[in-house]
Structure 1
C-alpha cells in the first residue's frame, strides 16, 4: 500500500480541515518580465475537500519553503527520525548557468515528484503554516489568468494580416522616425522607416505595438503617429499587459544618463537587490556598478542588500509626496547608478 493511501486510512487524516492541500501538479510555465526576466510555475492544487485552484510560484519560493521545513523537521539521523521529525523529499538543486526556459521545463517532473512526496508526509506536517501558505491561493493568484485561458487575449499578439489597402489605412499605426534599440525583451527594436501597428498606450510616453511580427513597447518620441489609437486604447485600456515605469540615472564623471525602464510589475513590488543590480548592468552595459538612492536631504546612499532596497522604497515614497505629481504608473522611488569605485558622489549636494 502506498504512503498516500496509508495516510488516507487514518482517522487523524480524516479530521484535517477540508482546505488542506493533498495534491499539486504543475500545469504550465509562464515567463514573467520583471526587473529580471524569470519563469514561474502554474500549479493546480487539489484540497481534501475536493476544490481545485491555481497558484503561481517561482523556484526560489520552493527553495525557501524547503529550507524552512528542513530547519524544523529534518532529523539529525535520517535513519532514526524522532516523533516531530521526518525525512523530507529531495528538492532539485539550483542551476546557475543555462537557458532559463529550458531550466524551468526540466524542473517540472522533479518538482511534481517533490510536491507529491511532500504532501504524502505525516498529517501533522500538512498543518505547518508555511507549507499551507505556499499552497494557499492568494488574492494575487486568483487574479491571474493562465495563458491557456487567454486564447482570445494573449499577452503577446501577432500583427493582423493586411488583406487590402482599406485594412491597412484603417489600422492605428505609426512610422519610426529614428532607430531605437530596446533594453529588454519587453521593448521593440525599431529602424527608421518601420511601420508599427499600434496596440495600446502604456503611459504618457510609451506605446505598445507590432512590427515585423514582433510585439513590444517603445517610446512615442521615436515615432510619428499616422493614425492614432481609439480613445479607450489610448488611455491604456487595451487587452495587453500593463507596465510600470522606473526612472533611473547613471552617474559618471562624464555626465548623467537618464533612462525610464518599463517592467511588468505592480507599483507595490519590492524587487531584490540582485534583481535591480542585474537589470541595471543590462540597461547601462556596465558590470562594476553600485546602486544608490537619495535620502530626504538629497544625499546619495548606497544600496547593498534587500534591507537597503526597502529603505530606498520608503524614502522614495516620502519624497514623492513632497514633489510634483508623477505619472500614475511610475514608481515613487528612483534608482541612481554609480561606478562601484566612485565614492566622490557621496556627501555631495543634491
Structure 2
C-alpha cells in the first residue's frame, strides 16, 4: 500500500479539528473597484464542527492556492514528499466581459472546491488550504449583497425604499460643481443636498444624491449637519491598538502628473487593502483613465528623491518595498498607500537625473 493511501486510511476523520472545512459553495459574485474593476466570489464554507461562514476570494487567489499545492503534491514535482492527483482548476480567460467570465467560472470552481475538500486529510491540514478557507477579519466585516445562489427559487424579496429624514440625516450642500473622474466618485452640482454616509478620510466623504452613491471631496461642500462622531473620524483602532481605517473603507493612492513645470496632484480611491501589491498593467490602465492620457510612463521616487521609471511587476515590487520601508517617516492619512505614483509622458526623459 502506498504511503499516501496508508496515511489516509490510518487517519480518523473524527479526530480532525472542528475548523477543518468540509464543503464550500459559491453563493454569488460581487463587483469590486480596485486598481481595475474585478469580481470576487462570495463563498459559503461549512467546517467539520458544523459552522457556516462566508469568505471572499478572487480568481487569482484560487490560482495561487493551486500553484502552491502543485509544488507540494503533484507527482511531477521533485519537491513532493507525498503525492496525490489534484483537481483541475479552470484556466485564465483573457477575452470577454469580466462579469460573464466570473459567472461562467462558478460551476467549475464549485467542482474544484468539492474535489479539493475530498482529498486526503494531510492535504486538508496544509496551512495554504486552511488559510484559503479561513474567515479572516476582513471577510467577517464584509456585508454580502444578495447571495442569490443560496436563496430558494420560490422566495420573493420585497424591496422597500425609504426617503431620508430631511431634518435628522447628516447632510451637506454642494458649493461647487464636481465632475467625477472614476466610477467610485459622485458628480455634484452646486446647490445640491448630499446625504452623508461616512467619512472616507480627512479629505473625502461618501454620500448619496439623486439615487446615486459615491465619494466626493470635502472641500466642495458645506456641511449642514455633520456625521455622528463615530462615523466622522474615518479612523478606528486595529487589533494591535494602532489607528487604522474602518472596515469596508476605501484606500487612497496619491499620484502626480508631471507635464513640464506643472504638477497635478490627484487622490484616487480604490477598494483595495493597503497591503495589496498591484500589477503594473493594472496601474497603467488606471492612470490612463484618471489623467485621460495614453502615452504615459509610471514612476516612483527613490530615497534620494530621484524619479525611477517603472517598467514591469518587479519594479512595482521595488516601489512597494521602498514605500513600506520609508513610509512610516511620512505623516499621511491612515488609509493612504505608503507608496506614491508619479506619472510622466513616456517621451519625457528630462524628469530623470540620468538618461536611459
Same fold at TM > 0.5: yes
SS in 2 for 1:168: coil
Distance 1:200 1:133, change over 3 A: closer
Which residue in 1 is equivalent to 2:163? 161
Which residue in 1 is equivalent to 2:55? 55
Distance 1:272 1:194, change over 3 A: same
Distance 1:339 1:120, change over 3 A: same
Alignment size in residue pairs: 324
More moved, 105-114 vs 115-124: 115-124
Which residue in 1 is equivalent to 2:173? 175
Which residue in 2 is equivalent to 1:35? 35
Q: Among 295, 301, 304, which residue is 2:302 paired with?
A: 295
Name structure 1 gaps, 5 residues minimum.
1-5, 77-81, 150-157
State the superposition RMSD in angstroms: 3.4
Name structure 2 gaps, 5 residues minimum.
148-159, 237-245
Say yes or no: does 1:347 pair with 2:320.
Answer: no
More moved, 171-180 vs 184-193: 171-180
Which residue in 2 is equivalent to 1:14? 13
Q: Distance in 2 between matches of 1:66 and 1:240?
A: 29
Which residue in 2 is equivalent to 1:243? 250
Q: Is the 8 A contact 2:40 2:59 kept in 1?
A: yes
Distance 1:342 1:46, change over 3 A: same
Q: Among 253, 263, 284, which residue is 2:260 paired with?
A: 253
Q: Distance in 1 between matches of 2:65 and 2:323?
A: 31
Which residue in 2 is equivalent to 1:101? 99
Q: Is the 8 A contact 2:73 2:81 kept in 1?
A: no
Q: Is the 8 A contact 1:159 1:210 kept in 2?
A: no
Deviation of the 1:303 alpha carbon: 2.4
Q: Deviations over 1:95-142 (max 9, x none)?
A: 223333332222212110111122223444434443333223344434
Q: Is the 8 A contact 1:22 1:119 kept in 2?
A: yes
Q: Distance in 2 between matches of 1:232 and 1:144?
A: 19
Deviation of the 1:60 alpha carbon: 0.8
Say yes or no: does 1:281 pair with 2:288.
Answer: yes
Which residue in 2 is equivalent to 1:152? none
More moved, 234-243 vs 309-318: 234-243
Deviation of the 1:181 alpha carbon: 2.2
Q: State how 1:221-240 maps to structure 2 within 5 Å.
A: 221-236=219-234
Distance 1:136 1:244, change over 3 A: closer
Deviation of the 1:294 alpha carbon: 0.8
Q: Is the 8 A contact 1:173 1:195 kept in 2?
A: yes
Q: Distance in 1 between matches of 2:45 and 2:226?
A: 44
Q: Is the 8 A contact 2:206 2:213 kept in 1?
A: yes
Which residue in 1 is equivalent to 2:276? 269
Deviation of the 1:28 alpha carbon: 2.5
Q: Is the 8 A contact 1:182 1:188 kept in 2?
A: yes
Q: Is the 8 A contact 2:141 2:248 kept in 1?
A: no
